[in-house]
C-alpha cells in the first residue's frame, strides 16, 4: 500500500514539474524589447548584445533541471542533448563558451537583480518583483 502511495506521489510530482510555467527574466533596468528569436540567439551565443548595445549575459539552469529541459525545447527548439552537442562543438573549435549555469531559481533571481546584463529563466511561480518578466 505504501509503495502505491509513493508511486502516486511521484507521478503527481512529475506532472506538476511537467506543467510548470517558464518565465524569461531580465534586470528591472533592462528596457530592451525581446522576442523569442532574439532570446534564442543570445542563448546560442549568436548575439552578444541587447538591442540598445549593452552586453547580454545568458544564464542557464542546471542541466538536470526540468526548467532547463523546457527552455531548451520550447525556446531554443532543440532537445537538451542537441543543445549540449551544439555547445560542445563550439567549445572544441574555440568559437564559443556556453552560458553560465545556476542551481536554483533563487540564485538566478539574485544574479539577474544585481546585474543589468543578465538574461535568464525561472519557473513562473518563483517570480518576484526583484526582476522583470519578459513578455513573449
Domain 21-133 fold: D-Maltodextrin-Binding Protein; domain 2 (3.40.190)
CB contact at 8 A, 43 and 121: no
Average pLDDT rounded to a whole number, residues 93-117: 97
Domain-by-domain residue ranges, the chain? 21-133
CB contact at 8 A, 131 and 112: yes
pLDDT at 18 over 60: no
Q: Is 117 helix (H, G, I), strand (E, B) or coil?
A: coil
Query: pLDDT confidence of 15, banded at 50, 70, 90?
Result: very low
pTM of the model: 0.85
Extract the C-alpha cell encoding 88.
560542445
The predicted-structure confidence for 45-83, as pLDDT tens digits, reads as follows 999 999 999 999 999 999 999 999 999 999 999 999 999
Amino acid at each position: 500500500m505504501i509503495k502505491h502511495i509513493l508511486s502516486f506521489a511521484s507521478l503527481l510530482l512529475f506532472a506538476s514539474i511537467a506543467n510548470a510555467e517558464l518565465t524569461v527574466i531580465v534586470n528591472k533596468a533592462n528596457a530592451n524589447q525581446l522576442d523569442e528569436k532574439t532570446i534564442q540567439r543570445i542563448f546560442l551565443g549568436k548575439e552578444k548584445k541587447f538591442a540598445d548595445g549593452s552586453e547580454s549575459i545568458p544564464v542557464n539552469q542546471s542541466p538536470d533541471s526540468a526548467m532547463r529541459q523546457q527552455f531548451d525545447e520550447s525556446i531554443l527548439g532543440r532537445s537538451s542533448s542537441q543543445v549540449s552537442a551544439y555547445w560542445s562543438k563550439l567549445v572544441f573549435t574555440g568559437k564559443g563558451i556556453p552560458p553560465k549555469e545556476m542551481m536554483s531559481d533563487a540564485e538566478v533571481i539574485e544574479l539577474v537583480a544585481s546585474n543589468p546584463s543578465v538574461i535568464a529563466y525561472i519557473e513562473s511561480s518563483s517570480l518576484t518583483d526583484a526582476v522583470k518578466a519578459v513578455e513573449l
